[in-house]
Amino acid sequence: MPKYVPFQPLSLPDRTWPNQTIRHAPVWCSVDLRDGNQALINPMGPAKKMELFKTLLRIGFKEIEVGFPAASETDFSFLRELIEQQLIPDDVTIQVLTQARPQLIERTFEAIAGAKNAIVHLYNSTSTLQRRVVFRADKAEITKLAVDGATRIHELASQVSDGRVRYQYSPESFTGTEIDFSVEICDAVCNVWQPTIENKTIINLPSTVELATPNVYADQIELFCRLFKFRDRAIISLHTHNDRGTGVAASELALLAGADRVEGTLFGNGERTGNLDIVTMALNLTTQGIDSGLDFSNIKEVRRVAEFCTELKVHERTPYAGDLVFTAFSGSHQDAIKKGYDAMKESGQEQFEVPYLTIDPADIGRQYDPIIRVNSQSGKGGVAYLVENELGFRLPRRLQVAFSQVVQQATDSTGQEMPAREVGKKFLETYVSP
């Protein structure tokens, strides 16, 4: 029996739900060093960029957007260092962002000279709003910008002889763009790039700003895929932001709608409310029995590096990584968790099935023992669990009830949590050596 199995909410006599579920992991691309970095109060310097880059490699990312080298000297020299010091493993592709202007594209190619594998990522904004108020340009002008940029990239890439250059195009603000225009502009770019089945182009469809519910984004992706002439020669990539708090949900649904690849950042750092949180999305897959291909077995270390490099704290309630997410204060939850662990221990079953916990904390380098914490909201289950952990013996039920009242009185009077060690001490003081 695998440790995690896909969730099956209910079976009706004639069908089983859900009939559609994600079956394998997408290709992941970290944009921590670009989208994440551009949103920081204090953007990362070379040392922090390097530390984060090495951490991304350890996690197992094979595609990493390392910056916007034509727009930032820090990004340019960081790239040069990565390439010249040969710090990019052969199976890892670095990605660089550029706008369509020829000088920026030329500078981008200077930045990646000598790289074994690179993705040049061209973008321009296509939404109705941006066309009207930012660029004051019509569809033909916006298309021309993209096609001219794609052409210059194609010319420069064909001169590269010591590495493989792949292409990526993003119609920025895709979610605010008419689908037929998104398709038209991506078709036009692909007409220039001429992707093949062996050498696919990445078409990245960003929810630059989350404008609607996740199903709407998924519908946009599905419709795009149906209409796009180069669908079979393209990798369809998702790049969701989190303005409505549903960046992960939108990407999960859009994967079901046919996409292949997901861009995001650790813990969702990024512009405004952030990018899609890759940690959450990857571990959501793990809990459904799908190998995400990313290693979060030491999530505390990943969190330490991310917090250090971004100077942003991971919230206590952040899925999987937050301080409090494997903690239950309420009595009934504590009782249920304890019973779940006991049942697993007794039966020796492999499948992780503990009420209120979606993942075994040990699988991400966290511990069982801080799961149960005791304050005035706690009940006998939690108190008994801590006594057992601290002192090594199980309390009979009546003693559990009696001692939990003692703990409740104490925590009520202080208004504070009682740490595990204190619970053990209190038990000894009350019953063993009063």
Residues in binding site: 35, 239, 241, 275
State how far the Cα of 168 lies from the Cα of 122, in Å rounded to an integer: 6
Annotated binding site for Mg(2+): 35, 239, 241, 275
State how far the Cα of 19 lies from the Cα of 13, in Å rounded to an integer: 14
- Asked if 335 and 382 touch (Cβ cutoff 8 Å), the reply is yes
State how far the Cα of 315 lies from the Cα of 323, in Å rounded to an integer: 8
- Asked if 217 and 180 touch (Cβ cutoff 8 Å), the reply is no
| Contact letters for ligand KIV, residues 211-250 (x by CB under 6 A) | ----------------------------x-x---------
State how far the Cα of 387 lies from the Cα of 391, in Å rounded to an integer: 6
Judged by beta carbon distances under 5 to 8 A according to partner kind, the member of ligand KIV, Zn ion, none in contact with residue 172 is ligand KIV
How many C-beta atoms lie closer than 10 Å to residue 20's C-beta? 8
Please say which residue, 69 or 206, places its beta carbon nearer to Zn ion.
Answer: 206
In the chain, the N- to C-terminal Cα span, in Å, equals 49
Residue 210 touches Zn ion, criterion: CB under 5 A: no
- Asked if 28 and 293 touch (Cβ cutoff 8 Å), the reply is yes
Please say which residue, 249 or 372, places its beta carbon nearer to ligand KIV.
Answer: 249
Check whether the bond before 6 is cis (ω within 30° of 0).
no
Q: CA-CA distances (angstroms) from residue 400 to 300, 350, 372, 417?
A: 34, 29, 15, 18
Give least dist CB 297 to ligand KIV, A: 29
Give least dist CB 168 to ligand KIV, A: 9
Please say which residue, 55 or 130, places its beta carbon nearer to ligand KIV.
Answer: 130
Please say which residue, 192 or 203, places its beta carbon nearer to ligand KIV.
Answer: 203
Q: CA-CA distances (angstroms) from residue 73 to 70, 96, 236?
A: 7, 13, 30
Rg (CA), the chain: 26
Q: CA-CA distances (angstroms) from residue 303 to 59, 266, 314, 316, 372?
A: 12, 8, 7, 12, 22
Please say which residue, 182 or 287, places its beta carbon nearer to Zn ion.
Answer: 182
Please say which residue, 236 or 372, places its beta carbon nearer to Zn ion.
Answer: 236
Judged by beta carbon distances under 5 to 8 A according to partner kind, the member of Zn ion, ligand KIV, none in contact with residue 123 is ligand KIV
| Contact letters for ligand KIV, residues 82-121 (x by CB under 6 A) | ---------------x------------------------
Please say which residue, 204 or 287, places its beta carbon nearer to Zn ion.
Answer: 204
State how far the Cα of 66 lies from the Cα of 76, in Å rounded to an integer: 10
| Contact letters for ligand KIV, residues 347-386 (x by CB under 6 A) | ----------------------------------------
Please say which residue, 172 or 335, places its beta carbon nearer to ligand KIV.
Answer: 172
| Contact letters for Zn ion, residues 2-41 (x by CB under 5 A) | ---------------------------------x------
Tokens of 72: 């930032």
Of residues 169 through 208, those in contact with ligand KIV by CB under 6 A are: 170, 172, 204, 206, 208
Give least dist CB 123 to ligand KIV, A: 4
Give least dist CB 38 to Zn ion, A: 9
Query: Is 123 strand, coil or helix?
Result: strand
Of residues 117 through 136, those in contact with ligand KIV by CB under 6 A are: 123
Please say which residue, 35 or 210, places its beta carbon nearer to Zn ion.
Answer: 35
Give least dist CB 243 to ligand KIV, A: 11
| Contact letters for ligand KIV, residues 29-58 (x by CB under 6 A) | ------x-----------------------
State how far the Cα of 41 lies from the Cα of 410, in Å rounded to an integer: 43
Give least dist CB 412 to Zn ion, A: 48
> What is the DSSP pairing of strand 15-16 with strand 11-12?
antiparallel
Judged by beta carbon distances under 5 to 8 A according to partner kind, the member of ligand KIV, Zn ion, none in contact with residue 175 is none
Of residues 294 through 353, those in contact with ligand KIV by CB under 6 A are: none
Tokens of 151: 């052409």
- DSSP secondary structure string, 180-215? HHHHHHHHHHHHHH---SSSPEEEEEEESS--S-HH
Residue 22 falls in which region: left (phi positive, over 0), alpha (psi -120 to 50) or beta? beta
Count of residues that interact with Zn ion, criterion CB under 5 A? 1
- Contact residues for ligand KIV, defined by CB under 6 A: 35, 97, 123, 170, 172, 204, 206, 208, 239, 241
Residues of the shown chain interacting with Zn ion in the complex, contacts defined by CB under 5 A = 35
